[in-house]
Structure 1
């Protein structure tokens, strides 16, 4: 508790209610998408705590110069480089539920190729909702897909932020399930990992997370994302790391965009540190791949019956569709 208090103290140098990591201006209509459930925390205690279940949409962004209308030549480059932006496709989408009533964390991965209908755009892949509607548009789309579930907050982190985070935590030890080799000179994306248990730095972790050039495609990549996420929680969510949280946050701050307040960040951190790791459940959106569908577009086709059952069991969600 003393270490958590120290971390909280470091964060609370700014206002409890402020959102220092909010990098996108949300219109009142956009902000209202996330405000339907009311307050998340109790600030009358020494440290804030969650007062109800909280659903947070997490998006991992891979944004290239072309995605923001830049020419590589403007940066004296001859390839499409990653940029520190949040305006591209969401390469990763997860809905996280922190439940103080059951003392569980449920993490639902949503394949980026999931086919949905988006108002004004028709049939699209769900990863395009961030481009078309920002975080609020993505939240609406995910909520509709999942039977009307309330999404309380969002967090977007780009490729640079993931690499900085892993390095700030001292790396992560995982089992690489197979040899992975891939080269894309147009993006300067180079993947070269060997099978086996090993300690990865930030760049190597990104290679593991981004590889999808095998028969498992995006579903295999989701499995590896969940493996890395669980390993980071098991290896880094501890009192020693908690005391360094303000410094770690400072390192990755420019690569994060979230409407979580300082108070809410402290409450989520405290909950996550105390929870039994066996109470963390990793899930994937029920569905199936269509291979190459209409116009040779590959989709993940949602299984709505399976989604309804999953949401009822893990997100206390009654079907509202």
Structure 2
């Protein structure tokens, strides 16, 4: 990883598509005022429901951990406009009773392992999102859960174990180190139970399931049975799509399905009709979300997302390869430091 850190400090390559931010025609005064009106209505509804500065924060960060995040650098201008690029780490948590410090009493004698609403345990999804007003883009980097990297105090491990070992702080620090000490301005953790409820609250999502998906795990009461083709999925079916892993492509196949579902969610969540229902939707999932971002910051990022063309939202996967059986006893995603540098320099300005 030292090699990557040295590369990051070299002169960054110029890219053809880098341009100064210029408001587009559809972002004229009246269009902006309409969006502001929607966001203001959302803000009013949210302030009516949540009275604290960080209403979704479930974890307690020490002063040192809180200082690691550059959340104060989320520069909010007039009309909740984002004035500088920010990087947010999003983690999806799929937690079973053995993963938690205090498993719910009702889960102990079931004879199987149900999903529980907790932020302990391994992170199932890791996504670094860059909101970039200078280039009018949103870039997302999926980090495979099996990525082999240095976790401070624990040595080389799979990156998804960082959350179990040290929560959101250690996860963010491990991601930052992996990507050349990139600043991370905040984090969002959402429990898988919240994802299902969110999709149901949105009315479901339409996706094109790439192939027949069938899998059964009686120990978790996990039963996946999806047919190939375009279809409208409710929360339970969408979770089947997310959780399927009996795939020759392994973690990368899962990431491709996650990105497909993410694109469908973005399309649905950022339309004005959905935004108007945000207070109700968020009220149903608030206990399944943990973030250190305050309400102003969240609304600023939502405002930027609403105004970003869908063609300007790009998704990438951490460059690397799957280890072979001769290298390690466990299976890992081995990062390619040279290619990571190229992606970070071009799309994350690091």
TM-score between the two structures when normalised by the length of structure 2 = 0.86
SS in 2 for 1:85: coil
Is 1:85 aligned with 2:118?
yes
Is 1:5 aligned with 2:36?
no
Is 1:27 aligned with 2:62?
yes
Of stretches 227-236 and 241-250 in structure 1, the one that deviates more from structure 2 is 227-236
Cα separation, 1, equivalents of 2:73 and 2:258 = 30
Partner in structure 2 of residue 285 of structure 1: 318
Is 1:155 aligned with 2:188?
yes
Cα separation, 1, equivalents of 2:107 and 2:220 = 15
Task: Report the Cα offset of residue 72 of structure 1.
Answer: 8.0
TM-score between the two structures when normalised by the length of structure 1 = 0.94
Query: What does 1:204-215 align with in structure 2 at a 5 Å threshold?
Result: 204-215=237-248
1:254-282 Cα deviation digits (max 9, x unpaired) = 00000010001111111111110000000
Describe the shift of the 1:89–1:264 C-alpha distance in structure 2 as closer, same or farther (beyond 3 A). Answer: same
Cα separation, 2, equivalents of 1:101 and 1:185 = 50
Cα separation, 2, equivalents of 1:79 and 1:119 = 34
- Give RMSD over aligned pairs: 1.7
Task: Report the Cα offset of residue 295 of structure 1.
Answer: 5.2
Task: Report the Cα offset of residue 236 of structure 1.
Answer: 3.0
Contact 1:109 1:285 (8 Å CA) reproduced? yes
Partner in structure 1 of residue 135 of structure 2: 102
Contact 2:73 2:185 (8 Å CA) reproduced? no
| Equivalent residue for 1:176, pick from 193, 209, 222 | 209
Which residues of structure 1 form unaligned runs of 5+? Answer: none
Partner in structure 2 of residue 48 of structure 1: 80
Describe the shift of the 1:241–1:130 C-alpha distance in structure 2 as closer, same or farther (beyond 3 A). Answer: same
Task: Report the Cα offset of residue 8 of structure 1.
Answer: 1.7
Contact 1:166 1:201 (8 Å CA) reproduced? yes
Partner in structure 2 of residue 269 of structure 1: 302
Contact 1:61 1:90 (8 Å CA) reproduced? yes
Cα separation, 1, equivalents of 2:216 and 2:65 = 39
Cα separation, 1, equivalents of 2:269 and 2:318 = 27
Contact 2:127 2:143 (8 Å CA) reproduced? yes
1:74-103 Cα deviation digits (max 9, x unpaired) = 543100111110001000000000011111
Contact 1:55 1:96 (8 Å CA) reproduced? yes
Partner in structure 2 of residue 66 of structure 1: 98
Of stretches 196-205 and 284-293 in structure 1, the one that deviates more from structure 2 is 284-293
Contact 1:41 1:263 (8 Å CA) reproduced? no
Describe the shift of the 1:72–1:214 C-alpha distance in structure 2 as closer, same or farther (beyond 3 A). Answer: farther
SS in 2 for 1:186: helix
